[in-house]
Amino acid sequence: MNLNLFSQNEESKYISQNGFSQVNIISKKDTISFLTTNVDTKKAKPTILFLQGSLPKPIIFHDSTGASVTAFPFEIDTYLKRFNFVVIARHGIPIVGSYEKDTGGYLDKNGKVPAEYVKYDNLKYRTFQAKSVVDYLYKQKWVQKDSIFVIGHSEGYRVAAKLSENNRKIAKLVCMSANPFNRIAEYVLKSRIETLSTASDSLLQKEIESDIKSFKNIPKDIEVYKNDYEDYNWMSYNSVLSFDSFSKFKNPILVTYGTEDRGSLNNDLLPFLLRKTKLTMFVYPDLDHNYSKKEIDKNGNELENSYHWDRVFKDIQNWLLRNSMKE
């Protein structure tokens, strides 16, 4: 079902305009769509699968002038000779959307998030999508089989972690800006930090206890709730712990986050939890969830935040290209 208001030719124009090709993996029950940078099929290259965070966003945004940009938070042009880049479309969300209307999330003609997106917005399905794409890439001549890299940001961190479990096709894993436990642990950490600057923290303590109780009450088999989409989706992301998934991945892992991203600070515990894992940490002082930094002039006035995604990705690509056998 095409949810977009564009014709197929218009959508293809914007995809091509940004240097991508669309691939559809079609089965009897599902179609998984993803974009890949145009490839030289005669040359195998390292390939990066980028897993986006939450929110029902298209991959490409266009404006009224016909110009368009991708949802990649870093510039990829510099790296196209070295890597193929792949990004998966969210189920039920068009690949191309309006810059003016859809950057905060796509809504249908009734002003609602599409039901198809809500139905499939869970960890199990997103992991299935990503695994299907990795399996596809592994068979392609233009993909260097020993250099398939997965990068997940925010919610994509959790998807990448789950995807990595016992997955030998992934050469290196990068997880960015999320809690190494689950979303509930993120809420607990944020509340605990808030108690340090609160005169009376009894209410926050009750919130923490309530969050922990909600985690403990998640049933072992959440599949019985699979038709209750919102509850099932919530449980899917909170019933597993990402660091457990890391322990089942044998290849190198890189975890990155900014110190102003409170929910990510528990990543400091990973070296203690994963003593025998090939783990590298890149920690960025003063940067937030999306690697922005608050800037203040000499008079104390707030300026526009500075943007550091490109610096972070440059560090990541340098790490990806190291010989993993020497780490």
According to CATH, the topology of domain 3-181+241-321 is Rossmann fold (3.40.50)
Single-letter amino acid, residue 288: D
| Alpha helical stretches, state H, the chain | 8-17, 99-102, 115-120, 123-138, 155-164, 183-195, 202-216, 229-238, 242-246, 270-273, 309-320
Q: How confident is the model at residue 325 (pLDDT cuts 50, 70, 90)?
A: very low
The pLDDT value recorded for residue 8 is: 60
What confidence tens digit (pLDDT) does each residue in 288-314 have? 999 999 999 999 999 999 999 999 999
The C-alpha atoms of residue 287 and residue 270 are separated, in whole angstroms, by 20
What confidence tens digit (pLDDT) does each residue in 254-292 have? 999 999 999 999 999 999 999 988 999 999 999 999 999
What confidence tens digit (pLDDT) does each residue in 63-76 have? 888 888 898 999 99
Per DSSP, what are the bridge partners of residue 84? 47
Q: How many CA atoms lie within 13 A of 127 on its CB side?
A: 19
Instruction: Output the DSSP codes for 37-97.
Output: E---TTS-EEEEEEEP-SS---SEEE-TTS-EEES-SS--GGGTTT-EEEEEPPTTS-SEE
Residue that the structure tokens 């030289």 belong to: 40
- The terminus-to-terminus CA distance of the chain in angstroms comes to 46
Per DSSP, what are the bridge partners of residue 107? none
Q: Which of 182, 176, 121 is nearest to 149 (CA)?
A: 176
- How many residues belong to the chain? 327
Cβ neighbors of 96 (< 8 A, separation 6 or more) are 4, 6, 10, 11, 14, 15, 58, 59, 60, 61, 62, 68
What confidence tens digit (pLDDT) does each residue in 2-33 have? 344 445 678 899 999 999 999 999 999 999 99
Q: What percent of the chain has pLDDT over 90?
A: 87
The C-alpha atoms of residue 97 and residue 286 are separated, in whole angstroms, by 32
Rg (CA), the chain: 20
Please report, for residues 18, 202, 276, the alpha-carbon distance to residue 122 in angstroms, rounded to integers and kept in the order given.
29, 33, 30
Single-letter amino acid, residue 57: K
What confidence tens digit (pLDDT) does each residue in 214-264 have? 999 999 999 999 999 999 999 999 999 999 999 999 999 999 999 999 999
The C-alpha atoms of residue 242 and residue 256 are separated, in whole angstroms, by 14
The pLDDT value recorded for residue 20 is: 95
The pLDDT value recorded for residue 41 is: 76
Q: Which of 151, 160, 161, 177 is nearest to 261 (CA)?
A: 177
Query: Which pTM was predicted?
Result: 0.94
Q: How many CA atoms lie within 13 A of 181 on its CB side?
A: 15
What confidence tens digit (pLDDT) does each residue in 153-171 have? 999 999 999 999 999 999 9
Give the sheet arrangement for strand 68-70, strand by strand: 68-70, 60-62, 96-98
Domain ranges of the chain: 3-181+241-321, 183-239
Lowest-pLDDT range of 33-42, 72-81, 88-97, 299-308: 33-42
138: tokens are 């592994």
